Amino acid sequence: MTILGRYEPWGRLGSGGMSEVWLARHATLGLPVVLKTLRPDVAARTTSAPELMRTTARLMGRVSAPQAVRVLDLGTDVVDRDEGVAVPCLVEEYVDGLDLAELDARRRDAVGRPMPLFVVADLVAQAAMGLHAAHQAG
């Protein structure tokens, strides 16, 4: 199975009320990426779904900061050929690492203490820089 004809899904990372998130790789380049697709049932009943994804991609593309995930591609993929359901798909760069909760849990397991305040302050400052870049981009 390929999505948009050039991405091969490795596995689903999660899903929500409207979308599914997949870890995938670019078929030609071999680079890992994250695919965000609207669930087929949502795409089938929402006529504005493709425009919503385009708007999201355009807004994400305007943010240029090391703390922000970049959008790489956008398109629609026909998931159900019998029904003809076109599902919008957003492709983002893959960022490897731990989320903050997992990082804190591992530290507590290893040394029995939470992260030092200076580490937490630095992480919050980095997140604030990403939010500032998004705000500046509109």
Query: Looking at residue 16, what DSSP letter applies?
Result: -
Nearest one of 21, 109, 29 to 69, comparing CA atoms: 21
Give the chain's mean pLDDT: 87
Which pLDDT belongs to residue 26? 93
Q: What is the mean pLDDT of residues 7-16?
A: 90
29-46 pLDDT per residue, tens:
999 999 998 877 777 777
Q: What is the mean pLDDT of residues 34-62?
A: 83
84-121 pLDDT per residue, tens:
667 788 999 999 988 888 999 999 999 999 999 999 99
Model's pTM, two decimal places?
Answer: 0.79
In our burial notation (b when 16+ CB lie closer than 10 A, e otherwise), range 24-54 reads bbeeeeeeebbbbbbbbebbbeeeebbeebe
